Amino acid sequence: MTRRPYRRRRDVTVVSLLLLVLASILGPAQSSAAGTDWWTPTSRPSPDSRINVTGEPFTGTNSAGEVRGFVDAHNHLFSNEAFGGRLICGKVFSESGVADALKDCPEHYPDGTLALFDYITHGGDGKHDPVGWPTFADWPAYDSMTHQANYYAWVERAWRGGQRVLVNDLVTNGMICSVYPFKDRSCDEMTSIRLQAKLTYDLQAYIDKMYGGTGKGWFRIVTDSAQAREVIKAGKLAVILGVETSEPFGCKQVFDIAQCSKADIDKGLDELYSLGVRSMFLCHKFDNALCGVRFDEGGLGTAINVGQFLSTGTFWQTEKCTTAMHDNPIGTAASDAEADLPAGTEVPEYDENAQCNTRGLTSLGEYAVRGMMKRKMMLEIDHMSVKATGQALDIFEAAGYPGVLSSHSWMDLNWTERVYSLGGFVAQYMHGSTDFVTEAGRTEALREKYGVGYGFGTDFNGIGDHPAPRGADAANKVTYPFKSVDGGSVIDKQTTGSRTFDFNTDGAAQVGMIPDWIEDIRKVGGQDVVDDLFRGAETYLDTWGATEQHQASVNLAKGQTATASSSESNPFTSYQPGRAVDGDDSTRWASDWSDDQYWQVDLGSTHLVSRVTLDWERAYGKSYRVELSTDGTTWTTAWSTTSGDGGLDTATFTGTPARYVRIHGLDRGTDWGYSLYEVGVHSA
């Protein structure tokens, strides 16, 4: 044994020793590295991946009292447990260490020939060196979908580089699982969702153990916005659970027949909420009993369309879009896809001028949206068809509900202002820096207008490529080491085992390359877009907090006296004006079949009115005005449109004193009259 060097020290009395002992017991617990670097664990598995970030993570808030940090609004930490458990190879963590966590699927040996999913989605032969730790010759890679990209130490590097919000979308697809030949578990979607939720909590405990106990680690699962704020103020990573699956609650449809009920939806939402889930998609990839989807394009679109047929008995159906918004073009049918279908089944061809899904939000889908509102959950509108998205936004606007998210560039960008005006949050897919900066520029003016930050959705362990390397000789390449955006940390090339990752030559091969990618964005596009991203955490929590605090406003018109210029006569039912304020959305007022008609309600006393909602039957108003009056004689126009399209309309305007509210129809949208299920009148 080597002798310790001798040092002189002053005598220490017994009393002094006792005081030191008491101080150590009663005082704050000592963290690692002599109590200075709280961000370093007291024990880390050895061997393990390196982090290669030095310096203290930023804590607290900015001068305006706002939290700071980047938001990965769409990631799939544990999708290696989805799709039957063998589609994505490797684990996020393992009690047995990194060598056990980061190893390939057994069927990928000896040369990757059976990496079926890679060459189905990317072409080529899928061959690769299957060895993971410690060499990683061929994976993880920016263009591989079959290898773990979310190892916990790589997530730690993203956090150390400035990320403060991570949305872990629990994900699976029963049809992909059933057709993929390699699996080691059932394909039940909810079973997989439950397992992924459990493992997220297990990961939190795994990291806590490195830091000395429960609650001490940097990976913190949060279930409300207040918790998230405290976590971020402490400099740690707030982790929110979401769900992205094709048939939530068993809500698939077979030959257009729903396979779930309202009771199933309520039970499913309650279970997800109890697991800690606070955001979710209602449809993903396949049309289901809740909504139609936004199509995938080209060859991948054809493959998913075939999957839709195998799951539901129907292919996607398209129609000509009626607005500027449209779904993705599907592309042409692939003849080889038909070989695997029942004899005589043909994958349809699609008119390039008909890019909108005929399916929107179903009645069960509307029930699910309102169920999420009741539970103060946030709705992910990416993957919903433009028809379904428009209907969901109509519902939110009618209620003034802010809980809407677009997390990874799968909505039509024309919806962006509607999302921002509600108080929602928008993130862009993790494109290469040039494309990311270009798309961010398209919505920059709206972020400025609404004073909001921006996010990104990495979709790691999902079905998508990630930023490719720009090359060692690229202009404005990432130069190592570089400083973090807040300036408090130094970030060097990341090393795992014997492989060192360089963003210039490896691209975004795994989640730990997020800081490098952001530096590449700064190099290519300048500081402004990075600043918007750094404000992302505050904006995301603003959306979440406003969702939690939302209270349904009182409908001032409900049960009040209503009159109209006319009412359609029917011997079997009543279409009188009062039907539009009876609180029953199955009854309605209907006018005679001519253009100049009105319906009005007496609120009983004067109120400050700022929002009127109209739930149109098929006979809707194309051109109409919302008029207000305090005496029932003198009317002023508060809001008008000449492009009404039916459904649920919301007229918002500056709060105005009114006792009487009139809907004045000028031009019908159909050959029938005007017909309203319910009219709502709301104060500021």
Three-state helix/strand/coil letters over 602-630? EEEEEEEEEEEEEEECCCCEEEEEEEEEC
pLDDT of 649 over the 90 cut:
yes
Please answer whether residues 648 and 614 qualify as being in contact, where contact means their C-beta atoms are separated by less than 8 angstroms: yes
pLDDT of 19 over the 60 cut:
no
Mean pLDDT of the chain: 92
Average pLDDT, integer, range 551-555: 94
Give pLDDT, residue 464. 83
Residue ranges of the alpha helices (H) in 375-458? 386-399, 416-422, 433-442, 444-450
pLDDT of 29 over the 80 cut:
no
Average pLDDT, integer, range 153-157: 98
Give the pLDDT band of residue 204 (cuts 50, 70, 90).
Answer: very high
Give pLDDT, residue 18. 36
> pLDDT (tens digit, 9 = 90+) per residue, 36-76?
699 999 999 999 999 999 999 999 999 999 999 999 999 99
The alpha carbon torsion through 61, 64, 67, 68 (nearest 10 deg) reads -90
Give pLDDT, residue 413. 95
Give pLDDT, residue 28. 31
Give the pLDDT band of residue 92 (cuts 50, 70, 90).
Answer: very high
Average pLDDT, integer, range 292-321: 89
Q: Any long-range contacts for 487-491 (C-beta under 8 Å, 24+ apart)?
A: 488/55, 488/56, 488/57, 488/58, 489/53, 489/54, 489/55, 489/56, 489/57, 489/160, 489/161, 489/162, 490/53, 490/54, 490/55, 491/52, 491/53, 491/160, 491/161, 491/515, 491/516, 491/519
Give pLDDT, residue 340. 62
Structure tokens at 300: 């991948």
> pLDDT (tens digit, 9 = 90+) per residue, 97-134?
999 999 999 999 999 888 888 777 666 787 899 999 99
% the chain with pLDDT above 70: 93
pLDDT of 593 over the 50 cut:
yes
Average pLDDT, integer, range 337-348: 72
Average pLDDT, integer, range 652-674: 97
Please answer whether residues 543 and 402 qualify as being in contact, where contact means their C-beta atoms are separated by less than 8 angstroms: yes
Give pLDDT, residue 299. 75
